[in-house]
């Protein structure tokens, strides 16, 4: 039982005293970067989907 208590004390100590938490502005900047990257990736995936759709329609129309 003592090992478990010591473990949680060490975890608490690590989180409170040794972990460096981002500031509010750093967190905001990181969130903006993630949102912009997500939109760009979504647009790329959409473009790939449209291109493959048109390519497959072209191939299928050529076969039938």
- pLDDT by residue, tens only, the chain of 64 residues: 789 999 999 999 999 999 888 999 999 999 999 999 999 999 999 999 999 999 999 999 987 7
- Which residues, in sequence order, are CB contacts of 22 under 8 Å at separation 6+? 30
Q: 30 near 22, Cβ under 8 Å? A: yes
- 3-state DSSP assignment of residue 19: coil
Residues 57 and 49: beta-carbon distance below 8 Å: no
pLDDT computed for residue 62 by the predictor: 84
């Amino acid at each position: 039982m003592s090992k478990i208590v010591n473990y949680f004390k060490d975890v608490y100590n690590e989180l409170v005293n040794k972990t460096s938490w981002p500031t509010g502005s750093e967190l905001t900047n990181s969130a903006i970067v993630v949102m912009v990257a997500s939109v760009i990736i979504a647009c790329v995936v959409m473009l790939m989907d449209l291109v493959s759709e048109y390519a497959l329609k072209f191939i299928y129309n050529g076969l039938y």
